[in-house]
């Protein structure tokens, strides 16, 4: 599917120039992208603009200029916008409406009217986004090539999702400039794309400018990595209110953004808890038999889940407690209650994991959770839930209410599997229990993401977070932070009140106190209450977005004053220009305020229900009846839209007489529960050598010499036995070989096996091997590796 400016026949209008301006303020950015097109035909064309939003971004302004006519999108209350849209259609005037789905609207299709022959058109959109923190503490900004067309030289084929080539074959030009402002000095800006030299705009290096080198072809994403001094230092940026806005309103008052990115000392990072109650809750509904992705050699979701459970079981610390639940239309558990982790219970669990199938019908998670919460907690073993699901449920509010009610007694790590997983459910499970959410889509490896969450569960987290605003008068815009894991950052937004904000010399101070590994830590920052200049409204809008999301969650609480909350959401949305579940973008002519021509509307439709939960479309089994409709989950759309953001399926409807096949419909994955033969097949030992090695490890962390282990190494059992060094026990030798093999052949998957290796190292140390160096040398020689003893952690 193309994106960009298209004719009503879905043909691209030639793109001539892209101008992108990035305004960075600390950890957030405003992106302004202007695309200029030219109708090279001798006839007018009806033009449509198709635009997918990047993940985590919020559109706050859209405009298009066709010849001398300018179209501007404005936010209005949703029902009013719908009525204006319907009135326009009934009077013969075309209009467009953009509504947000329950989580986000990340793709829209918008008619911008008729483009005269040989005339130019320009489209400008502005969005705001929080920059993501990387492992090296840099901040990443990504301009996805899918948002703008990639240049593809003539004759090279293509196949790129968003390819839009000019009919003449002449490539368009791209200009990209970033203006960076930070409380801390900017040390460097990196990119995989060629950049002009970084230009500092002041002596303390807190303001800088950088541009993309001329001639860049948009054949890959443009990524910037911003490095600031003292990345863990608490920082605060105050943004002045809009001059035209009423004082006392969110947009009229200054807003402060505090960046809280706590440092985890090495001593904390190396400490792993040996206690805990780990409860794994696995979706076994019918749709788990679908493939992980549409590519070749894709595993079934349930098969990948089995491998992941095996890896988790092998990675648990000795003497912790664990249990495994499966849920569908009903639920069951491996053990009546959580059991202590040892070799016997591990073997029982591994055997049962091998028998897991997608054979339990619908997706009813609430009864399973209620049962788990009724089980007594194990003294001195904090309860940690790991929940895996590929769908959504019809009672999300009840599920989240149940989790919130038990938040003081557990943490929840949630995993959304595949494109259809509900972000409301997955994110809500984690947010309401101080846990962490992950989404596993496309070719993502489930094991790597799950092991990252296990690290979070085993390592200390920042908890007991409190703030002292030193007497400042403010309205908090972002929710209270409950906990942060290693590598996570929180942005705190607050609207500043009071007369002191009018004093150019006034100072503010905020202290954030927290607990990390039984240590009390305090971070403090002083900042000016009166910003020297207005750098745009990104901080105000992101603060408004945060507050809107919180208010929308409050609406789901039993007994909430829904009408009052809705009124506040609508007011904030209209003030800030950030859409919400109760507002929509509608286009008007600038100046005339008349609805503009445009046949397409984005509306939400409820999806059918089965077994009390939303159905999900299983591409392998249920696609035939839908052949006339392009699903948003089909392969050509994979790079444009992440459908996990749709809880109620948004649908784009045309009021022109377009055939059904030309409509782009966001379908929910329909869960094939209960109508298919789910007869379990005979499960063999995993063919993947890494999974085979993992399956052979003992609960203690050791391995034993056996033929299946030798097969992983490409050896025979006899060869392993013959090469055992003198005075070394066979299980020590086998464990050393396993460690050497992991480091020598699977180092790129270290995140998946790091806990197994830590257990193995601890076990070897307990054996007090006298000729350890000699053993490592012999193991390298046998396996054909060159792994150093230090690298093994011994």
Separation between Cα atoms, residue 779 and residue 176, nearest integer Å: 53
User: Which region, left, alpha or beta, applies to residue 95 given φ > 0 means left and ψ of -120 to 50 means alpha?
Assistant: beta
Q: Report yes or no: 122 and 19 within 8 Å, Cβ to Cβ.
A: no
> Cα–Cα distances in Å, from 501 out to 74, 288, 667?
30, 55, 49
Q: Which residue segments constitute the domains of the chain, with CATH numbers given?
A: 4-228+581-589 (2.60.40.1730), 236-268+462-576 (2.60.40.10), 274-458 (3.40.50.410), 601-665 (no CATH), 699-792 (no CATH)
* Partners of residue 515 on adjacent β-strands: 463, 520
Say what the pLDDT of residue 370 is: 95
Chain CA centroid to CA 135, Å: 16
Q: Within 10 A of 602 (CB to CB), how many other CB atoms are there? A: 23
Separation between Cα atoms, residue 566 and residue 557, nearest integer Å: 13
Phi then psi dihedrals of residue 381, to 5 deg:
-130, 90
Chain CA centroid to CA 107, Å: 16
Q: Report DSSP state, residue 747.
A: G
Q: Which of 738, 691, 696, 749 is nearest to 346 (CA)?
A: 696
> Cα–Cα distances in Å, from 1 out to 143, 162, 292, 406, 636?
19, 7, 22, 45, 6
- Identify the burial level of 476 via C-beta atoms within 10 angstroms of its C-beta, where 0-12 means exposed, 13-18 middle and 19 or more buried: middle
Q: Which of 109, 38, 189, 191 is nearest to 637 (CA)?
A: 109
Phi then psi dihedrals of residue 544, to 5 deg:
-65, -40
List the chain residues with pLDDT less than 70. Answer: 1-3, 8, 51-53, 55, 88-89, 91-96, 98-113, 145-171, 217-220, 392, 532-535, 556-558, 588-687
User: Residue-wise over 29-50: b if at least 16 C-beta within 10 A, else e?
Assistant: bbbebbbbbbbebeeebbbbbb
Residue 445: which residues within 8 A CB-CB, separation 6 or more?
752
Say what the pLDDT of residue 678 is: 37
Residue 337: which residues within 8 A CB-CB, separation 6 or more?
323, 375, 376
Chain CA centroid to CA 303, Å: 23
Say what the pLDDT of residue 298 is: 84
Dmax over Cα atoms in the chain, in whole Å? 93
Kindly report the three-state secondary structure assignment for every residue of 691-745. Answer: HHHHHHCCCCCCCCCCHHHHHHHCCCHHHHHHCCCCCCCHHHHHHHHHHHHHHHH
* Partners of residue 190 on adjacent β-strands: 225
Q: What angle do CA 211, 55, 254 make, to 5 degrees?
A: 70
Average pLDDT of the residues of the chain: 79
Say what the pLDDT of residue 535 is: 67
Say what the pLDDT of residue 659 is: 31
**pTM of the full structure:** 0.72
Say what the pLDDT of residue 170 is: 42
Say what the pLDDT of residue 418 is: 81
Say what the pLDDT of residue 249 is: 92
Give percent of the chain above pLDDT 90: 40
- First-to-last C-alpha distance (Å) of the chain: 53
């Amino acid at each position: 599917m193309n994106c960009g400016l298209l004719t009503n026949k879905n043909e691209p209008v030639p793109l001539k120039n892209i101008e992108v301006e990035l305004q960075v303020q600390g950890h957030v950015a405003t992106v302004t992208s202007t695309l200029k097109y030219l109708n090279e035909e001798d006839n007018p064309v009806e033009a449509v603009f198709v635009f997918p939003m990047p993940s985590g971004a919020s559109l706050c302004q859209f405009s298009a200029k066709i010849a001398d006519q300018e179209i501007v999108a404005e936010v209005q209350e949703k029902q009013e916008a719908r009525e204006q849209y319907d009135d326009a259609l009934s009077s013969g005037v075309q209009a467009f409406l953009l509504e947000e789905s329950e989580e986000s609207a990340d793709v829209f299709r918008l008619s911008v009217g008729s483009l005269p022959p040989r005339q130019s058109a320009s489209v400008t959109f502005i969005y705001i986004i929080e920059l993501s923190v990387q492992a090296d503490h840099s901040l990443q900004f990504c301009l996805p090539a899918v948002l703008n067309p990639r240049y593809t030289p003539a004759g090279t084929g293509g196949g790129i999702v968003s390819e839009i080539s000019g009919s003449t074959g002449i490539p368009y030009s791209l200009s990209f400039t970033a203006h960076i402002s930070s409380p801390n000095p900017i040390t460097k800006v990196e990119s995989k794309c060629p950049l002009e030299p970084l230009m500092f705009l002041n002596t303390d290096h807190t303001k800088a400018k950088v541009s993309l080198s001329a001639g860049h072809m948009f054949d890959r994403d443009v990524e910037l990595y911003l490095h600031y001094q003292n990345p863990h230092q608490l920082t605060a940026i105050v943004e002045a209110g809009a001059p035209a806005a009423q004082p006392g309103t969110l947009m009229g008052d200054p807003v402060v953004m505090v960046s809280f990115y706590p440092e985890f000392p090495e001593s904390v990072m190396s400490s792993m808890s040996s206690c805990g109650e780990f409860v794994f809750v696995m979706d076994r509904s019918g749709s788990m038999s679908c493939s992980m992705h549409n590519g070749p050699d894709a595993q079934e979701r349930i098969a990948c889940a089995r491998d992941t459970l095996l890896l988790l079981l092998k990675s648990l610390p000795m003497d912790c407690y664990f249990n495994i639940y499966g849920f569908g239309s009903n639920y069951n558990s491996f053990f009546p209650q959580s059991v202590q982790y040892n070799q016997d219970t591990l073997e029982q669990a591994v055997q049962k994991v091998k028998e897991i199938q997608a054979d339990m019908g619908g997706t009813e998670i609430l009864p399973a959770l209620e049962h788990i919460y009724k089980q007594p907690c194990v003294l001195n073993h904090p309860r940690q839930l790991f929940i895996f699901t590929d769908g959504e449920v019809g009672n999300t509010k009840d599920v989240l209410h149940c989790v919130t009610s038990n938040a003081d007694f557990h943490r929840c790590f949630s995993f959304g599997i595949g494109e259809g997983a509900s972000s409301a459910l997955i994110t809500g499970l984690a947010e309401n229990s101080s846990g962490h959410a992950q989404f596993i889509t496309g070719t993502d490896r489930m094991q790597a993401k799950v092991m990252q969450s296990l690290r979070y569960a085993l390592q200390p987290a920042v908890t007991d977070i409190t703030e002292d605003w030193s007497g400042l008068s403010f309205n908090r815009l972002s929710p209270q932070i409950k906990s942060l894991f290693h590598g996570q950052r929180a942005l705190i937004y607050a609207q500043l009140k009071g007369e002191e904000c009018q004093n150019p010399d006034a100072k503010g101070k905020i202290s954030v106190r927290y607990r990390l590994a039984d240590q009390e830590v305090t971070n403090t920052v002083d900042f000016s209450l009166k910003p020297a200049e207005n750098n745009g409204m990104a901080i105000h809008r992101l603060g408004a977005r945060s507050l809107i999301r919180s208010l929308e969650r409050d609406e789901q609480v039993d007994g909430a004053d829904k009408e009052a909350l809705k009124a506040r959401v609508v007011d904030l949305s209209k003030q800030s220009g950030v859409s919400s579940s109760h507002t929509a973008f509608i286009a008007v002519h600038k100046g005339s305020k008349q609805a503009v021509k445009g046949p397409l509307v984005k509306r939400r439709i409820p999806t059918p229900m089965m077994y009390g939960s939303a159905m999900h479309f299983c591409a392998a089994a249920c696609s035939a009846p839908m052949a006339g409709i392009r699903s948003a989950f089909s392969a050509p759309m994979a790079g444009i839209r992440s459908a996990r953001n749709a809880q109620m399926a948004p649908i784009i409807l045309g009021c022109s007489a377009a055939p059904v096949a030309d409509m782009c419909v966001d379908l929910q994955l329909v869960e094939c529960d209960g109508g298919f033969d789910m007869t379990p097949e005979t499960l063999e030992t995993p063919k993947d050598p890494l999974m085979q090695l993992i399956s052979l490890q003992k609960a203690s962390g050791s391995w034993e010499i056996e033929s299946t282990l030798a097969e992983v190494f490409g050896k025979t059992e006899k060869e392993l036995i013959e090469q055992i060094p003198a005075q070394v026990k066979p299980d020590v030798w086998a464990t050393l070989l396993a460690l050497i093999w992991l480091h020598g052949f699977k180092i790129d998957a270290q995140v998946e096996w790091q806990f197994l290796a830590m257990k193995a190292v601890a076990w070897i140390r307990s054996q007090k091997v006298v000729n350890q160096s000699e053993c490592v040398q012999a193991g390298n020689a046998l396996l054909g590796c060159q792994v150093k003893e230090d690298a093994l952690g011994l």
